[in-house]
């Protein structure tokens, strides 16, 4: 299948591109490289550009005979979204709608959308099912929910067929250890913990110790990035086979607190992780744990890396082998 991956030079996008190539799909990546890394893309054509450039996108869709799109391109930092909501609505919603319009005009009807558990806000039940009420606690989640709403109406009006994947906390790296997580700024817990273990940071800041959780720190459901990649491809194949538009959660169904992640990382690395407590971050719910029975039942998805230890081991292989991330790689 000829597949366009927007944001395919980012963390989750690049791992999905690798899995697509492994499965013999023909892949084109469109990324403006504002936060992605060209060196993370291999086996696919990389085009530097923006999803709102309708002329460029239209040419790509036609020339490459694109049959389906995986849409990852977005701003995705919760705290940043609270400080700069305008940037998030413009980058995620306005540009996302421009993408959808171009796809409809080009006759491309199959789309897999990278969504997030942040659409739920503070959960009323754990684990969280897809039917849970959606009241985002931050602009990031709100922008993703806005696009999900648009997809429903685009489906009704224009025949766009879509699957939205609401994933929880992506973690780990490809077991080969040659691509992995590298954000600037880095806000995700596991890479921050490993940077402290490597001595690149003096300590880890824990944002909040008074949450209504067993140890007072936030609880999250971690899912390996390769398991996310496989889920995207299963969704793509389901749409190609005529599946109806729908939403799926993606997580392991196990919640780990910040302190539990730190202790597990110390065990994997054999190094101490000094920590310091700080105030809560705005928009952070106490606990998020996925109910992922639907995608297992309907698409046959099963996580390969279920344990936190396995996720940390692959992440450690990447970070210890490339402590500066993609710095120094040829783009």
Q: Please say if 211 is a catalytic residue.
A: no
Locate CATH 3.40.50.720 in the chain.
2-171+223-250
**Residue pLDDT, tens place only, 93-117:** 999 999 999 999 999 999 999 999 9
Please report how the helices 308-321 and 258-269 are oriented relative to each other, as an axis angle in degrees rounded to 10.
Answer: 60
Q: Which of 11, 89, 120, 140 is catalytic?
A: 140
Pick the CATH number of 2-171+223-250 from 3.40.640.10, 3.40.50.360, 3.40.50.720, 3.40.50.10800: 3.40.50.720
Residues 6 or more apart in contact with residue 154 via CB below 8 angstroms:
100, 104, 160, 162
- Tell me the whole-structure pTM to 2 decimals: 0.96
Give strand ranges (E) for the chain. Answer: 2-6, 26-31, 45-48, 68-71, 110-116, 161-167, 169-171, 204-207, 219-224, 246-250, 255-257, 275-278, 287-288
Which fold would CATH assign to domain 189-220+253-321? Answer: UDP-galactose 4-epimerase; domain 1 (3.90.25)
Closest C-alpha to 308, from 273, 271, 266: 266
Locate CATH 3.90.25.10 in the chain.
189-220+253-321
Distance CA 178, CA 227 (A): 17
Distance CA 107, CA 101 (A): 10
Bridge partners, 171 (sequence order): 224
CB 172 within 8 A of CB 122: no
**Residue pLDDT, tens place only, 5-60:** 999 999 999 999 999 999 999 999 999 999 999 999 999 999 999 999 999 999 99
pLDDT of residue 330: 55
pLDDT in tens, the chain (331 residues): 999 999 999 999 999 999 999 999 999 999 999 999 999 999 999 999 999 999 999 999 999 999 999 999 999 988 899 999 999 999 999 999 999 999 999 999 999 999 999 999 989 999 999 999 999 999 999 999 999 999 999 999 999 999 999 999 999 999 999 999 999 999 999 999 999 999 999 999 999 999 999 999 999 999 999 999 999 999 999 999 999 999 999 999 999 999 999 999 999 999 999 999 999 987 788 999 999 999 999 999 999 999 999 999 999 999 999 999 998 775 5
């Amino acid at each position: 299948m000829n597949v366009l991956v927007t944001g395919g030079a980012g963390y989750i996008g690049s791992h999905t591109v690798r899995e697509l190539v492994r499965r013999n799909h023909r892949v084109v990546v469109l990324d403006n490289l504002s936060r992605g890394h060209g060196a993370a893309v291999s086996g696919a054509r990389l085009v530097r550009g923006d999803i709102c450039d309708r002329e460029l996108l239209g040419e790509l869709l036609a020339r490459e005979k694109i049959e389906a799109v995986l849409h990852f391109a977005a701003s995705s930092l919760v705290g940043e979204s609270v400080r700069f909501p305008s940037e998030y609505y413009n980058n995620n919603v306005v540009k996302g709608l421009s993408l959808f319009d171009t796809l409809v005009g080009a006759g491309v009807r199959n789309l897999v959308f990278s969504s997030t558990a942040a659409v739920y806000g503070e959960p009323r039940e754990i684990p969280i099912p897809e039917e849970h009420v959606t009241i985002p606690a931050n602009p990031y989640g709100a922008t993703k929910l806005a696009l999900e709403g648009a997809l429903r109406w685009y489906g009704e009006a224009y025949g766009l067929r879509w699957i939205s994947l609401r994933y929880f906390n992506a973690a780990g790296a490809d077991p080969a250890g040659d691509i992995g997580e590298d954000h600037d700024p880095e806000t995700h817990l596991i890479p921050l913990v490993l940077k402290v273990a490597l001595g690149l940071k003096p300590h880890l800041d824990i944002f909040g110790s008074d949450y209504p959780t067993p140890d007072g720190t936030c609880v999250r459901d971690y899912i390996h990035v390769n398991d996310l990649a496989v889920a995207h491809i299963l969704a793509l194949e389901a749409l190609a086979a005529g599946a109806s538009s729908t939403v799926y959660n993606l997580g392991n169904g196990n919640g780990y607190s910040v302190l539990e992640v730190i202790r597990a990382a110390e065990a994997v690395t054999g190094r101490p992780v000094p920590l310091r407590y700080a105030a809560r971050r705005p928009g952070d719910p106490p606990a998020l744990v996925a109910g992922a029975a639907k995608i297992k039942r309907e698409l046959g998805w099963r996580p390969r890396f279920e344990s936190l230890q396995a996720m940390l081991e692959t992440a450690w292989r990447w970070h210890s082998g490339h402590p500066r991330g993609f710095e120094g790689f040829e783009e």
